[in-house]
Structure 1
Amino acid sequence: MALTAYDLSGRTAFVTGAAGGIGRASALLLAGAGARVHCADRDEAGLEETRALIAEAGGAAHLHRLDVADRAQVEAAVRAAGPVHVLAAIAGIMHSGSALESDDADLERVMSVNFLGVLHACREAARVMIAHGIGGSLITMASGAVDSARPDLFCYSVSKAAVVQLTRTLASELGPHKIRVNAVAPGWIRTPMTERHAAGEQERVESMMVRLSPLGRLGTPEDVAHTVLYLATDASAFTTGQILRPNGGVSMPW
């Protein structure tokens, strides 16, 4: 396959969660492939760092400070980005606790970001793509947690399972409009979010993940971002409704 399949010159990409971790790594790769990148996050300082890194690499980024749980903010930002060819809905949060320990407020908070935030962005990006007749790629962020029953990650796991079903449903609905919809379900990746979740147990958790992986190492945000790049480009032109798992081959529950 020609490398031109990974050329995003002349296309616009909108990335949520772009202030750090997988979102930042994805924004950098998309910009490196030639896309005009719009970076969205509620962390203004992190967004500025992402913009500086993209500029250092010779690209340019437009910033949107917003909370993905706020539907109006998300819709306005996506519309302001103009014709969007690629959406990478990566923003997310974690919450520790079982079904019996978590209350409705916990579930509502996680769902508002991890599910509704993705839904708001995907729905508006799809409307823009359809209105301009350009087709495109919607990329959602699931998790390896959807492949196992983790009682201590009840809210998080449920929210990511909802993202998986959203992805499949949208792929079926939007295919006739030449819009592809796929999810990325990473394994354990060292990001600010997972570091906060590990809360002092980072070394133990990462050591366990290294042992579980046939590749014998942890994944990086860049490892996941390369999957996002693939789904954003014409290299994945016949891929939709799929859940891609950049997880180092880990097949056991984590």
Structure 2
Amino acid sequence: MSSIAQHLQHVQQQIAQAAGQAGRAPSSVQLLAVSKTFGPEAVAEAVAAGQRAFGENYLQEALDKIAALPALVPDTPLQWHFIGPIQSNKTRPIAEHFDWVHSVDRLKIAQRLSEQRPEELGPLNICLQVNISAEASKSGLGPEELPEVAAQVAQLPRLRLRGLMAIPAPSDEMKQQRAAFAAVRGLYEQLRAGGLAMDTLSMGMSADLEAAVAEGATIVRVGSAIFGARHYA
């Protein structure tokens, strides 16, 4: 068994344990393997271990990887999620090559993705990013602007608004981690109560996935715990 396969197994066990403690089925939490800065060979190892959904932050790197994978894992459908910041001039390739986008932080980006999504691909799954900790260094909608933007995004053609994504301020305290994720869940539940048919909470990473699962995460985004330490150019 490769080290990536072993790490995947360990993360799945973490998720299953956290779900069990929260009274949830492990199958209610999807693992998104964040493969940024790792090459297609690392992704192929994860695929061989059963992983199918991958998250990418950097567009050109992701497009190169998406193009390379069919030769490494033929006849294996993969699901690609864009989870990084989105510039307006990058929306077309994102709309054309990804299945999900987690990091929509303003209406203009959603409108461009809607206009540029090829009809034959089916709706692009969208999460709105919420800046739940009000950090100046992070993208995301403020809680006060979320309801209006969500209502407008939900009406756009060729998109499907699935839910919310958040990256709270880091904390080593489980209580603080849970409080931030609980705040995101509260916003999600308010939007659902207002009539938006959402089903996704994308929250939790390597260091805080247990707290995220305890507070209702349906997708956890895990990179370093699967692929190892990242090496940035």
TM-score, with normalisation over the residues of structure 1? 0.36
Higher share in helix: 1
TM-score, with normalisation over the residues of structure 2? 0.38
